[in-house]
């Protein structure tokens, strides 16, 4: 019982509770919209064969990733200078407009691929400005002693809606066109953006008047060996999952009668179930080497990919995805916890934006190239399996480098321009 009370403690703060439920609502729409877009593009190219379906999905996802990569570093600087809530209110509203418009275009017919890719690029650019702000917002919503519980609740809500969203999408696409699901997602973004305008943080807001210097964030990042090596490992994870798995997986699933759209949706939901289950266990787990066992367990993320050529039914895919979800949650939770515990709060926005840019750097390139490498179902399955093997080797290799590390190195860097402000406000 004490574990439950501790975990739910941040919800006693009204501002965090409102933010929590608004974010969960918009995340549910997104959890349905992402597979809906993939199915819409696969449906658009249904008469052209699986290779064209690979290409369409890859181009759209690459468009979104490239937009996000180009502006994520700017998003970190913006998040360290202006109010995170103001940033989220604006970006949520813009995302709502983009998703609603694209959904309407898909419902009306088959928009040109260049328009879909352009729309996705804009959505990625908006996301790039919002992610660092969302990651740094908690410092203004809950007291520092409750930071980890707040982070755990935010992750748990994401995983829960990810259980429901893909399954609902898999069922819904059998009855309605995928574009309608994207319209619903647009509405959830609008509602969340409106709610964010009603939230008030304690104090003047994080880093509103601080001059953010990206170069200092880069210097701080490069000074930490565990952070750089971990980012490299998670870069491989991101390429395998986002660059290969999400591009080739859905079309192959559609061409496998025993899996299909519903089976793919159930697999994504099973992954989220594994993440939720691990999220409950994490509160009771304590490791002497915080980045060894969690990152070693993260190798399970590669299971559905590595064994994909052998999987012929949705149940096996769902089981391996369940284990992958557990590995994803424990590895990323402990890695992010290490960042929050070791990095000066003045740099969180920039550090997280550098991390997000680095892990996604090669994803768009792979998303564009992989459809040409995988020209049919068989080569697509082999490409996925190789990506899964690389993922497992990268996470296990990083875990091996952290096998003897009991505490992570603190990452600190002074910002001289803050000294006058601290003197004026009496801060130590």
Evaluate whether 335 touches 359 at the Cβ level (below 8 Å). Answer: no
CATH-assigned architecture of domain 15-200+213-409: Up-down Bundle (1.20)
pLDDT of residue 239: 94
On whether the CB atoms of residues 247 and 54 are closer than 8 A, the answer is yes
Question: What is the pLDDT at residue 303?
Answer: 95
Hey, which residues does 411 pair with through a beta bridge?
343
Distance CA 370, CA 138 (A): 38
At residue 343, φ and ψ (nearest 5 deg) are -95, 135
Q: Give the global pTM.
A: 0.68
Task: State the CB neighbour count (10 A cutoff) for residue 396.
Answer: 16
Can you give the pLDDT at residue 365? 86
SS (H, E, C) the chain: CHHHHHHHHHHHCHHHHHHHHHHHHHHHHHHHHHHHHHHHHHHHCHHHCHHHHHHHHHHHHHHHHHHHHHHHHHHHHHHCCCCHHHHHHHHHHHHHHHHHHHHHHHHHCCCCHHHHHHHHHHHHHHHHHHHHHHHHHHHHCCCHHHHHHHHHHHHHHHHHHHHHHHHHHHHHCCCCCHHHHHHHHHHHHHHHHHHHCCCCCCCCCCCCCCCCCHHHHHHHHHCCHHHHHHHHHHHHHHHHHHHHHHHHHHHHHHCCCCCHHHHHHHHHHHHHHHHHHHHHHHCCCCCCCCCCHHHHHHHHHHHHHHCHHHCCCHHHHHHHHHHHHHHHHHHHHHHHHHHHHHECHHHHHHHHHHHHHHHHCCHHHHHHHHHHHCCCHHHHHHHHHHHHHHHHHHHHHHHHHCCCCCCCCCECCCCHHHHHHHHHHCCC
Cα 425 to its chain centre, rounded Å, is: 37
Per domain, the residue ranges of the chain are 15-200+213-409
324's tokens: 């992958």
Question: What pLDDT, on the 0 to 100 scale, is given for residue 139?
Answer: 67
Which residues neighbour 169 within 8 Å (Cβ) at sequence distance 6 or greater?
31, 32, 33, 35, 36, 39, 178, 181, 265
The confidence score (pLDDT) of residue 324 equals: 94
- pLDDT confidence of residue 416: 43
- For the chain of 428 residues, list the mean pLDDT of each consecutive stretch of 10: 55 86 84 80 62 66 80 78 82 90 85 83 86 74 72 75 74 79 88 84 46 65 86 94 87 84 83 83 74 90 93 90 91 81 71 83 85 82 94 94 70 44 34
| pLDDT at residue 345, rounded to an integer | 64
């Amino acid at each position: 019982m004490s574990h439950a009370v501790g975990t739910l403690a941040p919800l006693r703060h009204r501002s965090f509770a409102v933010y929590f439920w608004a974010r969960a609502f918009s995340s549910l729409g997104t959890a349905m919209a992402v597979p809906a877009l993939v199915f819409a593009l696969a449906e658009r190219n249904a008469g052209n064969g699986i290779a064209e379906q690979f290409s369409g999905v890859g181009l759209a996802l690459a468009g979104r990733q490239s937009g996000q990569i180009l502006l994520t570093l700017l998003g970190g600087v913006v998040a360290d200078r202006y109010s995170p809530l103001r940033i989220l209110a604006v970006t949520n509203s813009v995302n709502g407009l983009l998703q609603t418009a694209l959904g309407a275009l898909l419902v009306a017919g088959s928009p040109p691929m260049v328009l879909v890719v352009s729309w996705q690029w804009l959505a990625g650019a908006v996301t790039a400005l919002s992610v660092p702000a969302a990651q740094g917002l908690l410092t203004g919503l809950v007291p520092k002693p409750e930071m980890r519980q707040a982070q755990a609740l935010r992750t748990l809500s994401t995983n829960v809606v990810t259980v429901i969203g893909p399954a609902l999408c898999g069922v819904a696409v059998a009855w309605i066109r995928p574009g309608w699901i994207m319209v619903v997602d647009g509405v959830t973004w609008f509602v969340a953006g409106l709610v964010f305008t009603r939230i008030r943080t304690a104090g003047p807001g994080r880093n509103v008047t601080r001059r953010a210097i990206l170069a200092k964030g880069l210097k701080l990042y490069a000074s930490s060996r565990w952070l750089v090596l971990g980012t490299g490992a998670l870069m491989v994870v991101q390429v395998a999952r986002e660059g290969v798995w999400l591009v080739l997986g859905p079309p192959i699933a559609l061409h496998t009668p025993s899996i299909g759209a519903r089976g793919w949706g159930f697999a994504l939901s099973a992954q989220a179930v594994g993440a939720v289950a691990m999220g409950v266990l994490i509160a009771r787990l304590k490791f002497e080497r915080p980045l060894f066992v969690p990152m070693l367990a993260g190798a399970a993320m590669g299971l559905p990919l590595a064994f994909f050529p052998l999987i012929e039914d949705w149940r096996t895919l769902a089981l391996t995805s369940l284990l992958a979800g557990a590995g994803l949650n424990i590895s990323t939770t402990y890695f992010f916890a290490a960042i929050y515990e070791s990095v000066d709060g003045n740099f969180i926005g920039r550090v997280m934006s550098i991390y997000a840019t680095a892990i996604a750097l090669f994803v768009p390139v792979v998303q564009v190239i992989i459809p040409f490498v995988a020209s049919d179902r068989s080569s697509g399955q082999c490409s996925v399996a190789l990506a899964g093997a690389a993922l497992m080797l990268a996470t296990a290799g990083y875990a091996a480098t952290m096998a003897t590390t009991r505490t992570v190195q603190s990452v600190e860097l002074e910002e001289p321009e803050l000294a006058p402000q601290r003197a004026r406000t009496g801060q130590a």
